[in-house]
Structure 1
Amino acid sequence: MSGRVAEIDCGQVFGIAEVADVYARLYAAIEENLDIKLDISRLERIDTAALQLLYGLERDAAAHGVRLCWSDPSAAFLESAGILGMPGFYRAPPV
């Protein structure tokens, strides 16, 4: 990634309680035209609301010309995305 980057760590638990805070940070980065480095490597639990936010982020970042870089996804992330029928919606280039 080049230029200014917003690094956002989704932590170990990313549920409905955390969505508002992460949403605000993600979309502030988009408005400031910052590339986003999203760390989903430590997730032990993620719920549907959080996955929906990340799914929409992929689309919204691209629409605004913001580069989105994903860390290696945790097993919990992969399992949850698979259960909801959305495996592979994220890209995982080297960070």
Structure 2
Amino acid sequence: MAGKRAARQQDTDEQPAKASAAASVGVDDAARVLLPADCRMAAQAALKAELLGALDAGAIVLDGGQVERVDTAALQLLVLFRRELDARGGTLGWHGTSDALNEAAGLLGLAQLLNLPAAALA
């Protein structure tokens, strides 16, 4: 158990560094993946293939600005993608996120893990 706690603490300590690295990912020097408007179960196979293809680029920018519908399966896929990217030493940035994506990730407590940009104040 102590090993798991130490590993979790190390992950927590590393998050600010990863977040700042991800924030510095530029659109020009990164692979860009456009998330579909309907980001639910039916779109998972195509999205998974696109994300896997982008992994080798190292620096990835996801564009979630067009997402109108998103389900837990899509968010789980993005979390797994983020973990694999982190394991490879890659960085993740966002070009845009929709209200639907922000709300769903927030409800599931995944906004910070996915490094979603803070929602703009109205």
TM over 0.5: yes
Identity of aligned residues (%): 35
Residue in 2 aligned with 1:19? 44
**Which 4+ runs in 1 deviate beyond 4 A?**
none
CA distance in 2, matches of 1:85, 1:66: 22
1:8 is matched with which residue? 33
Larger Rg: 2
Whether the aligned pair in 1 keeps the contact of 2:30 and 2:57 (CA below 8 Å) is no
TM-score by length of 1: 0.80
Q: Which has the higher helix share?
A: 2
* 8 Å contact kept, 2:64–2:94: yes
Q: Kindly report the root-mean-square deviation, in angstroms, between the aligned alpha carbons of the 2 structures.
A: 2.0
Kept in 2: contact 1:71–1:92 (CA 8 A): no
Aligned positions, number? 92
Q: Which has the higher contact order (CA 8 A, sep 6+)?
A: 1
Structure 2, unmatched stretches of 5+, are: 1-24, 118-122
1:67 aligns with 2:91: yes
Gaps of 5+ in 1: none
